[in-house]
Chains A and B, each alone.
Chain A
Amino acid sequence: MKRLQSTISLSLALGMILLGMAACAKKTVQSGGETQSSQSGAAKGSSDSAVIAESSQNYPDTALSGRDASGGLRGLDKNPAEERVGGNSNPLLAKVDPGSTGRQLEEIRAEQSASAAAGLRDVFFAYDSFLISDEGRQALSRDAEWMKANPAALLKVEGHCDERGTSAYNLVLGEKRAKAVRNYLVELGVAANRLAVVSYGKERPFCKDHAESCYAQNRRGHVVVRAGK
C-alpha cells in the first residue's frame, strides 16, 4: 500500500513537470530540421511536408465509414437460407512480386564484397549501451584512414542489437549506435555527407543463438561500403 502511495505521488510530481514540457510540444512541423543521414541532404532540399504530400497524394481514405455491429452476421434462422461462404472475392488474396528479392540479394552481396575488400572494421557495444569502447575507437581509426585513402567512397553504418528487449525499442537503440559511430568518424575528420546511418534493430542478426557469445556479435555498428542507391 505504501508503495502504491509513493507511486501515485511520484506520478503526480512527474505529471506536473511533464505538463510544463508539453506546453511547447504543439508546434507543427514545417521543415526538415536536422537531417538524419546527411548524404541524402541534396535529395531532401524540399520540405518534409512536401515529401509527405508527394508520396501520399493518392492513398485511399483510411477513415472508418461506420461499422455494422453484427459484423456481417445474419443471425440464426428457423428456416435458414443458403449462405455462400468465401464466394468469388477472396478478401485476403494479394499478389506477391518476388522480383525485388533477387535484386536486394545482389546488392547486399556487392556491399559485402566491397566492404570485405576494403577491410572495414565494425564496432561492438555493451548490453543496452551505445558508448564506443577503446577497441571500437581503434577500429574506427582504421576505417577513417581508409576513407581518407579512398576519397570517392561512401559508407553506411548499420546499427544492430541483440535479441533481448522489444523489437521497436531496439530499432531506436540501433540508431543511437549507428549515430555514435558516424559521429566518431566525423570527429576523426570524415566528411559527414559521406556517412549514412540506418538501424536494423534486432531484425538482421549476425548470429541466432540465445547466448551471450552470440549477443555480443549482434550488438554492433556494422560499417559497409555503400553500393547502389
Chain B
Amino acid sequence: MLTFRTIMIGTFCLSLALAWIIESGAADVFLEATRPDFQKIPLGVAGIQNFGGAESLEAQVRLGSRIEEVLKADVRRSLVFSLVDLPSVGIKVSHLGTGPDPSFKQAAEHGVAVIVWGKAGMKNGGKDADVTMDGYVYDAGSDEVVGGKRYVGSPSVVRLMAHRFADELVFRYTGEPGIARTKIAYVSEVGSARELFVMDYDGYEPRQLTADGFLNLMPRWSPDRRFLVFTAYRNRNTQDIDMIELATGKRWTLVSLGGLNITPALSPDGNFLAFASSHEGNSELYRLDTRTKALQRLTVNASGDLSPSWSPSGRELAFASDRSGGPQVFLMSADGSNIRRLTFEDDYNAAPAWSPRGNWIAYVCRTPKKEYKLCLITPDGQKRVQLTAGPGVDDSPSWSPDGRHIVFSSTAEGKSQIYMINADGKDLERITFTGTHNSAPAWSPAS
C-alpha cells in the first residue's frame, strides 16, 4: 500500500514538475520570489527502536517503523529541515540508547546538524496497554543531547506522538509551532450526498462530521480551530451558512437569508464573517459582525461577487468578481471601500486565498489552453506565477498556517482528490486515496 502510494506520488510529481518547468518558463522569477531566507537544517533520523511489550515481535517492529516513517515525513514537509540519510553520509549507527551513539561525533563534519532517534513500546503488554515513545535530540554543534520527550497514549494516537515530536523539533529550531498537528477540513461524497470531513494534514485519520444526506460545501476554520463555517442546504431548496463545533458536532445557523449563501470566511480575529449572498438579487459580499449580529453589505454592482479571503491583518479582503466579464480577483478594504482589480491575465481567475504571511494570493487561473490551474500573485500585482500545470481542474487552494504549502483539489488523475504542494511549486503530493470525490480542502490554523 505504502510502496504503491509512494510510486504514485513520485510518478505524478515528476510529470507535473516537468510539465510546469516546460510550460511556465517562470522559474527564475518564482524561485527568487519565494526562496526562504534561511538555509534548511540538515537533520538525520537514526531510528525508532522497539523496547518490547507489544504482543508480537511483528507488532513491535511495526510500531517503531511506523513512528519513524511518520516522523520522517513530517520532518520533510516542515521545510525547516532537510532530511539526511545517515548511512549514505557515512554515519553508521551501531546502537541506540538514551545517550548519543559514538558515530554521532562525525555528524558535524558530514554537515549534519541534528540527529534524532527514539524508542517505542507497549508499557505493560496486553491488548489495551498504552504505548510509550521516547524521543531524543542530538545537536552536532554542541555535541550533546539537548533534550527529549516522553509520550504516553493509546495505540490509536501513535501517529499523533510522531506529529507532536516533529512539531517540537520545528519549535526548538524556529520558534514556530509547526504544522504536523494541523488538520484539513474537506468535502467528501457519501452516496450521492456531499458531507464535511476532517483529516490530519497528511491525509490520515479522516472523520465524518455531517450526515445530512444532501450538500454541505466549502468549510472554513474559525481562528481558534474549534468551529467550521460552511454552506448547508436545508431541505435541498435553500442555502444557509452554518457553523459546527468539532468537539461536539453541535450546529448553529449563522446566516439564513434566502438565495445563494456561499463562501463564508471568518476574519483572523474571529469577529467578522464575510460571505457571498444573492438574497438581494445577485451575488454580493456581506460582512456579519459576530458579536453585534449587524450585517453590512460590502459590494454593490450588477455582477457576481464571491469567495472573500481575509488578509492576515484582517484589514483587507481578496475576492472574485465577474464585474469585468469573466471572473477576476479583486482586493478591497474590509469595509468595502478601495476596490481594485488584481488579476489581468486571461479571462478566468477565481477562488483567491491570501497567504498567512500576507505576501502571496493563491487562486485558480484558467490558462490559454483552458485548463484550470493554480497561480500565485503578490498583493501589489507585481509578480505572478503559475504553480501547477497539466490536465484536470485544480480548485480551492488553501494555505498551511506556516505559509509554506498549499492544499487544493484536482481532477488531474480522474476523480477529484486532494493534493498539497509547496509554495515554490515543489513536492506535489496526493493526500486522499479513497472515495469517489474529495474536494474543497481548508487547512486549519496552527494549534
Chain A interfacial positions (CB closer than 8 Å to B): 4, 7-8, 10-11, 14-15, 18-19, 21-29, 32-37, 40, 44, 48-49, 51-53, 55-56, 58-65, 67, 69-78, 80-87, 89, 91-105, 107-108, 128, 156, 163-169, 171-172, 175-176, 196, 198-200, 203-204, 210, 226, 228-229
Chain B residues in 8 Å Cβ range of A44:
258
Looking at the assembled complex, report how far the CB atom of B250 sits from the nearest CB atom of chain A, in whole angstroms.
9
Decide if B106 is an interface residue (CB 8 Å cutoff): no
Partner of B153, one of A36, A61, A86: A86
In Å, the complex CA distance between A14 and B331 comes to 12
Chain B contributes a number of interface residues (CB within 8 A of A) equal to 134
In Å, the complex CA distance between A175 and B306 comes to 13
Chain B residues in 8 Å Cβ range of A52:
254-257, 288, 293, 295
Partner of B344, one of A11, A69, A91, A93: A11
On whether the beta carbons of A37 and B213 are closer than 8 Å, the reply is: no
Looking at the assembled complex, report how far the CB atom of A218 sits from the nearest CB atom of chain B, in whole angstroms.
13
* A71 (CB) vs chain B CBs: closest residue: B177
Interface 1/0s, chain B 195-222, versus A by CB < 8 A? 0001000000001111111110110001
Decide if B299 is an interface residue (CB 8 Å cutoff): yes
In Å, the complex CA distance between A22 and B253 comes to 30
Looking at the assembled complex, report how far the CB atom of A216 sits from the nearest CB atom of chain B, in whole angstroms.
16
* B215 (CB) vs chain A CBs: closest residue: A203
Looking at the assembled complex, report how far the CB atom of B369 sits from the nearest CB atom of chain A, in whole angstroms.
12
Chain B residues in 8 Å Cβ range of A86:
153-154, 156-157, 160
- If A52-B293, A71-B171, A203-B194 touch, whether A156 touches B269 (CB-CB below 8 Å) is no
Looking at the assembled complex, report how far the CB atom of A14 sits from the nearest CB atom of chain B, in whole angstroms.
5
In Å, the complex CA distance between A63 and B322 comes to 32
Partner of B291, one of A10, A21, A61, A89: A61
On whether the beta carbons of B291 and A22 are closer than 8 Å, the reply is: no
Decide if B71 is an interface residue (CB 8 Å cutoff): no
* B326 (CB) vs chain A CBs: closest residue: A128
Interface 1/0s, chain B 331-353, versus A by CB < 8 A? 01001111111101000101100
Partner of A34, one of B147, B192, B280: B280
Decide if B286 is an interface residue (CB 8 Å cutoff): yes
On whether the beta carbons of A167 and B218 are closer than 8 Å, the reply is: yes
On whether the beta carbons of A53 and B149 are closer than 8 Å, the reply is: no
Chain B residues in 8 Å Cβ range of A74:
168
In Å, the complex CA distance between A199 and B258 comes to 12
On whether the beta carbons of B149 and A94 are closer than 8 Å, the reply is: no
* A159 (CB) vs chain B CBs: closest residue: B260
Stretch at the interface among B50-58, B80-88, B231-239, B354-362: B231-239
Looking at the assembled complex, report how far the CB atom of A73 sits from the nearest CB atom of chain B, in whole angstroms.
5
On whether the beta carbons of A69 and B177 are closer than 8 Å, the reply is: yes
- If A32-B280, A107-B236 touch, whether A169 touches B339 (CB-CB below 8 Å) is no
* A48 (CB) vs chain B CBs: closest residue: B257
On whether the beta carbons of A108 and B283 are closer than 8 Å, the reply is: no
Partner of A171, one of B193, B260, B344, B446: B260
On whether the beta carbons of B247 and A8 are closer than 8 Å, the reply is: no
Q: Give me 13 other A-B pairs in contact (C-beta within 8 A), A22-B336, A80-B149, A175-B259 excluded.
A: A19-B338, A59-B290, A71-B181, A73-B177, A73-B178, A76-B172, A78-B148, A94-B247, A104-B214, A164-B393, A176-B304, A198-B237, A229-B237
On whether the beta carbons of A93 and B207 are closer than 8 Å, the reply is: yes
In Å, the complex CA distance between A96 and B209 comes to 6
- If A165-B372, A168-B307 touch, whether A94 touches B244 (CB-CB below 8 Å) is yes
Decide if B223 is an interface residue (CB 8 Å cutoff): yes
* B132 (CB) vs chain A CBs: closest residue: A82
In Å, the complex CA distance between A55 and B242 comes to 10
- If A18-B341, A26-B336, A27-B297 touch, whether A51 touches B150 (CB-CB below 8 Å) is no
* B280 (CB) vs chain A CBs: closest residue: A33
Chain A residues in 8 Å Cβ range of B140:
none
The CB with the most chain B CB atoms within 10 A, among A37, A56, A80, A204, is that of: A56
Looking at the assembled complex, report how far the CB atom of A197 sits from the nearest CB atom of chain B, in whole angstroms.
9
Decide if B18 is an interface residue (CB 8 Å cutoff): no
- If A28-B294, A101-B213 touch, whether A94 touches B246 (CB-CB below 8 Å) is yes
Chain A residues in 8 Å Cβ range of B258:
32, 35-37, 40, 44
Looking at the assembled complex, report how far the CB atom of B349 sits from the nearest CB atom of chain A, in whole angstroms.
10
- If A77-B148, A172-B306 touch, whether A94 touches B249 (CB-CB below 8 Å) is yes
Partner of A29, one of B198, B286, B395: B286
Chain B residues in 8 Å Cβ range of A19:
337-340
In Å, the complex CA distance between A86 and B154 comes to 8
In Å, the complex CA distance between A48 and B261 comes to 13
Looking at the assembled complex, report how far the CB atom of B420 sits from the nearest CB atom of chain A, in whole angstroms.
18
Looking at the assembled complex, report how far the CB atom of B74 sits from the nearest CB atom of chain A, in whole angstroms.
14
On whether the beta carbons of A95 and B248 are closer than 8 Å, the reply is: yes
On whether the beta carbons of B281 and A25 are closer than 8 Å, the reply is: no
Decide if B183 is an interface residue (CB 8 Å cutoff): yes
18 A/B residue pairs, CB under 8 Å, sorted by A:
A4-B382, A18-B330, A19-B340, A25-B298, A25-B339, A49-B294, A56-B254, A64-B223, A73-B177, A80-B134, A86-B157, A86-B160, A100-B211, A101-B212, A156-B237, A164-B372, A172-B304, A196-B237
On whether the beta carbons of B306 and A168 are closer than 8 Å, the reply is: yes
Chain B residues in 8 Å Cβ range of A7:
344, 381
On whether the beta carbons of B235 and A229 are closer than 8 Å, the reply is: yes
Chain B residues in 8 Å Cβ range of A98:
211, 213
Interface 1/0s, chain B 145-176, versus A by CB < 8 A? 11111111110110011001001100110010
- Closest A-B pairs by Cβ, 7 of them: A71-B177, A76-B147, A101-B213, A94-B249, A36-B259, A86-B157, A104-B213
Chain B residues in 8 Å Cβ range of A91:
246-247
On whether the beta carbons of A51 and B260 are closer than 8 Å, the reply is: no
